[in-house]
A and B are shown apart, each in its own frame.
Chain A
């Protein structure tokens, strides 16, 4: 079945980096963009960015520019999100999600989500 499986929970100190993985299966990985979303405790959904595994094009949320990098490894059907210079307010659950429509970015929403990765930033 189509699924996205994310890496496990992380605890990091302020100033450190975290790299979350999202392994896809059950579909042609390069045909669907991947969106990253985070959710701080008790808060709403926040868009972090998007990447096309097809051509590597990315879009990053302005507030994260310079701290976030999204990549894909098409040989393993895995997407990665690295966030650097972590702060306490980066504590959140991080989700990857697949564009619903093949080869069409974002218009049709995201239909498959990973289970979420909790990242805790604490000294």
Chain B
């Protein structure tokens, strides 16, 4: 199975800050990576697919980049509604695997 490692596990930031979360795959996954946001008690929400494509309806302050084994999710200017947990997911091959999550907290 492909292992996905996210860093950091948690981060504290303020409204208006720029935040970057990284995700590393244990082997190359081309650009088949997705990012999700999850708020407590809610289902995950797709933010980015195919490493850098913004899902419809997602604010443009979210962006993704990378290919192969190293990927990043960047939030350019944090808004209050962005405080949540973020997961990367490799979608290159079965079984699908997720990173362990990054909890984004208010400083």
Residues on A close to B: CB < 8 A?
35, 37, 44-47, 49-50, 59, 61-62, 95, 97, 100, 106-111, 113-116
Q: Which residues of A contact B43 (CB under 8 A)?
A: 95, 97, 113-116
- Total contacting residues, chain B, CB less than 8 A: 25
CA distance A61 to B96 in the complex (A): 9
Residues of chain A contacted by B55 (CB below 8 angstroms)? 100, 109, 111
A106 with B1: CB separation less than 8 A: no
Chain B interface, DSSP helix/strand/loop, else mixed: loop
- Which 10 interchain pairs have the tightest Cβ spacing? A109-B34, A113-B43, A109-B49, A59-B94, A47-B96, A45-B98, A44-B101, A106-B91, A108-B49, A111-B46
29 pairs, CB–CB < 8 Å, chain A vs chain B: A35-B96, A44-B99, A44-B101, A45-B89, A45-B101, A46-B98, A47-B95, A47-B96, A50-B94, A50-B96, A59-B94, A59-B95, A62-B95, A97-B43, A100-B49, A106-B32, A107-B50, A107-B91, A107-B92, A108-B53, A108-B91, A109-B49, A109-B50, A109-B89, A110-B34, A110-B46, A111-B46, A111-B49, A111-B55
Interface members, chain B 15-56 (any A CB < 8 Å): 32, 34, 36, 38, 43-46, 49-50, 53, 55
> What residue in chain A is nearest B100 (Cβ atoms)?
A44
**Given contacts A62-B95, A106-B96, A107-B32, is CB(A100)–CB(B46) below 8 Å?**
yes
Chain B residues in 8 Å Cβ range of A107: 32, 50, 91-92
B87 at the interface (CB under 8 A from A): yes
Are B98 and A44 in touch, CB under 8 angstroms? Answer: yes
Which one of A35, A50, A61, A109 has the highest number of Cβ atoms from chain B below 10 Å of its Cβ?
A109
**Bound-complex Cα distance A116 to B60 (A):** 28
Residues of A within 8 A of B100 (CB): 44
